[in-house]
Amino acid sequence: MYRLRNSRGTVIGIATKMTGRVPGTAPRSAWVSDWILLLPSRGALLLNQVNARRALQPVATTPIEVQVTVGPAPEGAGIVIRGTDEFAGLRGTYSETLRVEHIDAGGVTHGQIDLVTRLAKDLS
């Protein structure tokens, strides 16, 4: 479970992420993630992406940035599957970037995940 913040850092909701391996996709098995973003009194968004697979160092003392999203949209973005309430009828793409401040000796990652959405009304 994650706190969902706007660009000013204010908590505006909660998010969950489910990640797993899907056999037989792309040229070989792919790691994918689904996000559910819940913004109370506004609605929810369901997002899907194909993940880049980059191993993080067991102990990292300098900040690193990892672009997690590599598809399935043609430009390498994730896709917005569906929205509810205020977000109903919106379609679009998004990207996930992992900003790691450091990984401590116990293997705990410290940092944040940035999700950037690009939404538009579905006119189809």
Pairwise CA distance, residues 107 & 38, whole Å: 29
Cβ atoms 96, 113 nearer than 8 A: yes
> In sequence order, what are the beta bridge partners of 13?
4
pLDDT in tens, 49-80: 999 876 666 666 778 888 888 889 988 999 99
Percent of the chain with pLDDT over 90: 52
Mean pLDDT of 72-100: 93
Predicted TM-score (pTM) of this structure? 0.84
Amino acid occupying residue 84:
T
Q: Cα dist. 26→43, 52, 54, 63 in Å?
A: 32, 13, 17, 31
pLDDT in tens, 22-56: 776 555 567 899 999 999 999 999 999 999 876 66
DSSP-assigned letters across all residues of 36-83 = EEEETTTEEEEEEEEEP--PPPSSB-S-EEEE-EEESSTTS-EEEEEE
- Report the mean per-residue pLDDT for the chain: 87
